[in-house]
Amino acid sequence: MTNRRDFLKSSALLAAGGLVGSSLLNSCGSSATAAPARKSFIGLQTYSLGGELTADVPAGLKRVYDAGYTDLELAGYRDGMQGEYTMAEYKKMADDAGLKISGAHVGPSSRNYTKEGMAEMSEFWKKAVADHVILGVTTIVQPSMPTVTSEDDAKIICDIFNNAGQIAKDAGIKWGYHNHSGEFTTRIMSAADQAEADRIAAERAAAMASAAAGGTAPRMNFGRAPQGTMVEQLFLDNTDPELVMFELDCYWAVMGGQDPVQWLKNYPNRFKLLHVKDKWIIGNSGMMNWEMIFKTAYEIGIEQWFVELENDGDDSTTQFYGVEESAKYLLSRSFVKA
């Protein structure tokens, strides 16, 4: 709370000096509303900061708070620890900085997504969930995709997801899954799809052979072969809505050729969290329709969302700079709830 008091005091001094309004107008451009110092919710996925945060966690978390963030979704849980800290130590540091840890990304240590792997996965999630109860999170999210090559793979994976979801639910935590682009670009053929594709291929080959023998042009209208089902769709279809929710990474959806708004509208009861991610600083690329994404997200009841930045690979800027500039953008937008 010391930090919050210091923040309020320094804000008051800046305002008294007439500095706040002008500096915000300069940095936000003409279309922005005057930016408040804080909003009720602005989340950050701590992966965004990488080593810049782990180098000095207490100081880093205070800087995150000062940028305007209210909530964290952690990354980096391993072997019962959050980096080099116990869960209780990490929670204390977040509390001291004025930040709430509302969620965490957790990747299971096992990749054994088989019927035989269920018991091992179950043990992992029991321990992970118990550890995250210490943090006080309301959500736990698996961040990456197991290998999916068939509908049967997807069904076993979804059984394991449902089981993880039940373990989390028993502890009062919502369990979810986070996409990259592969969930949209990887398409899985069902047996029926494959039979139809094979039939079309055989018809085409026979027509080509017949045309070649007769010296004529081959018939070309064989119909459209099935394209298969997106992995994201298989995960939605094969998980229990009571046990598994979804975090939509809006940027990776776009990179997978999708309109994030349409997915939110199609599955208003499944998407509970967003990753607000852009090419780098939120709002800078112009390729993400944040106004429509936020409008739709609020309409379907999404209250928690987390800014996430990849490392931009540019040594002349820091990740903290990107995280702070992203907060400025979101603080200054009227479409982000006050």
Chain residues in the site for Mg ion (CB under 5 A):
249, 275, 308
Cβ closest to Mg ion, residue 275 vs residue 333 = 275
Cβ closest to Mg ion, residue 131 vs residue 249 = 249
How near is the Cβ of 31 to Mg ion at its closest, in Å? 27
Contact 253, 260 (CB under 8 A): yes
How near is the Cβ of 320 to Mg ion at its closest, in Å? 19
Cβ closest to Mg ion, residue 128 vs residue 250 = 250
Cβ closest to Mg ion, residue 278 vs residue 308 = 308
SS (H, E, C) 252-269: HHHHCCCCHHHHHHHCCC
How near is the Cβ of 247 to Mg ion at its closest, in Å? 8
Cβ closest to Mg ion, residue 62 vs residue 272 = 272
Cβ closest to Mg ion, residue 46 vs residue 163 = 46
Strand-pairing partners, residue 73, are 45, 103
Cβ closest to Mg ion, residue 38 vs residue 306 = 306
Using the Cα atoms of residue 266, residue 267, residue 269 and residue 273 in order, give the sign of their dihedral.
negative
How near is the Cβ of 32 to Mg ion at its closest, in Å? 25
How near is the Cβ of 267 to Mg ion at its closest, in Å? 18
Cβ closest to Mg ion, residue 71 vs residue 249 = 249
SS (H, E, C) the chain: CHHHHHHHHHHHHHHHCCHHHHHHHHHHCCCCCCCCCCCCCCEEEHHHHCHHHHCCHHHHHHHHHHHCCCEEEECCEECCEECCEEHHHHHHHHHHHCCEEEEEECCCCCCCCCCCCHHHHHHHHHHHHHHHHHHCCCEEEECCCCCCCCHHHHHHHHHHHHHHHHHHHHCCCEEEEECCCHHHHCEECCHHHHHHHHHHHHHHHHHHHHHHHHCCCCCCCCCCCCCCEEHHHHHHHHCCCCCEEEEEEHHHHHHCCCCHHHHHHHCCCCEEEEEECCCCCCCCCCCCCHHHHHHHHHHCCCCEEEECCCCCCCCCCCHHHHHHHHHHHHHCCCCCCC
How near is the Cβ of 276 to Mg ion at its closest, in Å? 9
Contact 151, 220 (CB under 8 A): no
How near is the Cβ of 245 to Mg ion at its closest, in Å? 15
How near is the Cβ of 306 to Mg ion at its closest, in Å? 8
